[in-house]
Structure 1
Amino acid sequence: MTTVDIEVIVVGAGVVGLACGVELAKRGREVLVVEREARAGEGVSSRNSGVIHAGLYYPPGSLKARVCVRGRELLYAFCAARGVPHRRCGKWVVAATEDQLDTLRHYQARAAENGVGEVHWVDGELLRRREPALGGVAALDVPQSGFVDVAEYVMALSAELQRHGGQLLTRCEVERIDCEEAAFAVSAGGESPIRCRQLVNAGGLGAQALARRTHGFPQHLVPPLHFAAGHYYRMRGNKVPFDRLVYPLPGRSGLGVHLGFDAAGLPRFGPDVRFIEREAYDFDDSRRAEFAAAIREWWPGLRDEDLLPDFVGVRPKLVGPESPTPDFVLQGEAEHGLAGLVQLFGIESPGLTSSLAIAEEVADRLA
């Protein structure tokens, strides 16, 4: 039998990689999570809206639909048990015009198919009574949605990993992986390779590059990577006339510019979707008027000057502009033929919401 140094290595300490480490450690596995940055959660996890999604957007029967609905409740329970700040505040999904009503009805029906729970139709008259500042001809009331303090969630996952005997190693960039007989040799930092029995690639924006550095992995199974920048703005004065999330109907590349809240409960808007050539976090304020116009479709009272630049996130999309967003890609032995290897690609929204359920899926594949 091949000698190994550790049973499982998870590459990537974002919320999904950490959740995978926690789930595997809870199942009695010897786990090492490695991260190239100085701290866990510094990649995609640190630059998103922090929204906990309900699960109404995703095609019935898809992996996203399944892990979002299950992951949502796992996440709420995890946060409640460990004191991670979060709030199940609910969400409006707004039809701005009459010609959007059929689409809104479609998402209400999809919510029922996906097992989201009660999602209520609110007509224009009732909407104006409940939310006088909100524009639109109708809305869905989605009580299951909320938001979480992502940084605290990362810290709680890290602590949970260690509580169950797992290890986290930061400033460790994996340079090469060799698929050997019954083992994976993981090379990092010029040191001798660490051999493990099983390997999880949860590299986020770096997942495709890591798969290409995995010698023995079928390269035709590595999907394309498109960098999608999303800009977020905060509100001048930090006040809005809403206490819940507000979303328009989704577009082809994203869920639309919406109202969310940060860890302190302060409002922020975003993200838009701008495809870029490489990973970059420079804030481009040149489209503020366009950004504000998107918000005014559901909040007519917003002024351009009310928006202040906040931050930029970059999502690992599998398709380019104008293409419908595909399902998460989770490749195990059945897909690539290598026992003990799981590759995760295209883990963007609702990856945060789904993280604990994705971890269950990964652990089941490795069982």
Structure 2
Amino acid sequence: MEQVDCVIAGAGVIGLAVARHLAAKGLDTLIVEAADAIGTETSSRNSEVIHAGIYYPQGSLKARFCVAGREMLYRYSTERSLPHRRCGKLIVATDEAQEPALATIRANAVACGVGDLRVLSAAEAQALEPALHCTKALLSPSTGIIDSHALMLTLLGDAEENGAMLSLNTRIVSGRIEAGRIVLQTMDTTSDEGFEIATSRLVNAAGLGAVALAGSLDGFDRRFLPTLRYAKGNYFSVAGRAPFSRLIYPVPEPGGLGVHLTLDLGGIARFGPDVEWTDTLDYRVDPARGERFYAQIRKYWPELPDGSLQPAYSGIRPKLSGPGEANSDFVIQHAATHGIAGLVNFFGIESPGLTSSLAIAEHVARILAPERSITTGTRR
């Protein structure tokens, strides 16, 4: 039986960020990923936005880790020359009835430590984005975009530089909690060969499969398993270039932030996500859903041409709240919650998980290896 200091279940952005941090502390770290590549689910199927930390409830983990993680991510991206841009975002009221919501959003942002939002009149907003329609707006200069794939590859490279290993096509079938260790039964999905791994630390960063993985551990109290729901978000792109240089977000809607306009690093616009509750991991985008996008987008971009939207991609968010319910916070379980030494479960890590990843990793490293310091010379 192989023995390692730490097993990371899931090679998405959270798992890779944690692996990087633990490996830098000198822990023998194994990253286990069921897919044939890193970051194939939630970590790559999103808007690739570096969020400022505007919307989340004061004191929540989302607010705390987003605000801290944003600056860590900008600094890391600059140091490592990762493709990114602090392009800014406009949150827009498209009629006077929405304007009080902007004041509420700004007050919440200030309470969470985001003090750089500017209130813009319609004329000021349109001076920045001439094609925009709004009655009032908030400018967030700290919002940006990043190449999530480049980020994950760099996190993996840092982890491997400090001795971490990646095992793709490897699924954790089950596990058992023993005195002082967790024994995992794994399977190679290409050969069906099984093998056991023992570890003193297990980081469950399995994303959409995190609840199922925790539930497969013999000895884990099922009372600590939340109900997971899938919220599919569909994205559409526009033929040609949209006439915007900043991200455009409408006032938020229940379950998400509305059909917003984001940009990739090449300047191509994407619209979405919407909210489609589902029970299956089906990433196909129904072209007919695009018809609903037109009316929403034209509230802030009236000149959107007919027939210009094309299905782009979709992502599925692991949500702990359902339709009509308030958005849940991140859940980061460790021994103080469930009593299992060395076990950390990540549940409901949706947006702003990408932005928060480095801050979350630092937090978890303090929990799992409080006595260890970063290895001398390691890039932080």
Question: Above 0.5 in TM-score?
Answer: yes
- Hey, what does 1:279 align to over in structure 2? 281
- Hey, what does 2:375 align to over in structure 1? none
Partners in 1 of 2:302 and 2:101 — Cα distance? 21
Is the 2:129–2:245 contact (alpha carbons within 8 Å) kept by the matching residues of 1? Answer: no
Of Structure 1 and Structure 2, the greater helix share is in 1
Of stretches 121-130 and 106-115 in structure 1, the one that deviates more from structure 2 is 121-130
Following TM superposition, by how much is the alpha carbon of 1:263 offset from its aligned partner in structure 2, in angstroms?
A: 4.0
- Hey, what does 2:260 align to over in structure 1? 258
- Hey, what does 1:70 align to over in structure 2? 68
State the TM-score, normalizing by the size of structure 1: 0.96
Residues 226-252 of structure 1: CA distance to partner in whole angstroms, max 9, x if unpaired?
111111111111x11110111011112
Q: Does 1:205 align with 2:203?
A: no
Partners in 2 of 1:192 and 1:269 — Cα distance? 44
Partners in 1 of 2:115 and 2:167 — Cα distance? 39
- Hey, what does 1:92 align to over in structure 2? 90
Match of 1:347 among 342, 346, 349: 349
Following TM superposition, by how much is the alpha carbon of 1:109 offset from its aligned partner in structure 2, in angstroms?
A: 1.1
Following TM superposition, by how much is the alpha carbon of 1:160 offset from its aligned partner in structure 2, in angstroms?
A: 0.8
Q: Does 1:324 align with 2:322?
A: no
Match of 1:216 among 210, 216, 219: 219
How does 1:97-112 map onto structure 2 within 5 Å? 97-112=95-110
Structure 1 residue ranges (4+ consecutive) displaced by more than 6 angstroms after TM superposition: none
Following TM superposition, by how much is the alpha carbon of 1:4 offset from its aligned partner in structure 2, in angstroms?
A: 7.2
Unaligned runs of 5+ in 1: none
Following TM superposition, by how much is the alpha carbon of 1:110 offset from its aligned partner in structure 2, in angstroms?
A: 1.3
- Hey, what does 1:11 align to over in structure 2? 9
Match of 1:23 among 21, 24, 28: 21
Following TM superposition, by how much is the alpha carbon of 1:31 offset from its aligned partner in structure 2, in angstroms?
A: 1.0
Q: What one-letter code is carried by the residue in structure 1 that aligns with 2:64?
A: R
Secondary structure class of the residue paired with 1:246: strand
Secondary structure class of the residue paired with 1:173: strand
Q: What one-letter code is carried by the residue in structure 1 that aligns with 2:103?
A: R
- Hey, what does 2:292 align to over in structure 1? 290
Alpha-carbon distance change, 304 to 350 in structure 1, aligned in 2, over 3 angstroms: farther
Q: What one-letter code is carried by the residue in structure 2 that aligns with 1:274?
A: E
Q: What one-letter code is carried by the residue in structure 1 that aligns with 2:124?
A: L
Of stretches 173-182 and 21-30 in structure 1, the one that deviates more from structure 2 is 21-30
Is the 2:33–2:170 contact (alpha carbons within 8 Å) kept by the matching residues of 1? Answer: yes
Is the 1:4–1:197 contact (alpha carbons within 8 Å) kept by the matching residues of 2? Answer: no
Following TM superposition, by how much is the alpha carbon of 1:127 offset from its aligned partner in structure 2, in angstroms?
A: 2.1
Secondary structure class of the residue paired with 1:364: helix
Match of 1:229 among 229, 232, 235: 232
Sequence identity (%): 45
Q: What one-letter code is carried by the residue in structure 2 that aligns with 1:326?
A: S
Match of 1:315 among 314, 317, 320: 317
Following TM superposition, by how much is the alpha carbon of 1:26 offset from its aligned partner in structure 2, in angstroms?
A: 1.5
Partners in 1 of 2:126 and 2:71 — Cα distance? 31
Is the 2:85–2:265 contact (alpha carbons within 8 Å) kept by the matching residues of 1? Answer: no
Is the 2:2–2:196 contact (alpha carbons within 8 Å) kept by the matching residues of 1? Answer: no
Partners in 2 of 1:143 and 1:168 — Cα distance? 37
Match of 2:39 among 38, 41, 44: 41
Is the 1:288–1:304 contact (alpha carbons within 8 Å) kept by the matching residues of 2? Answer: no
Partners in 2 of 1:256 and 1:363 — Cα distance? 34
Corresponding pairs, count: 364
Residues 48-67 of structure 1: CA distance to partner in whole angstroms, max 9, x if unpaired?
11011000100111100010
Is the 1:292–1:303 contact (alpha carbons within 8 Å) kept by the matching residues of 2? Answer: no
Following TM superposition, by how much is the alpha carbon of 1:130 offset from its aligned partner in structure 2, in angstroms?
A: 2.9
Alpha-carbon distance change, 164 to 265 in structure 1, aligned in 2, over 3 angstroms: farther
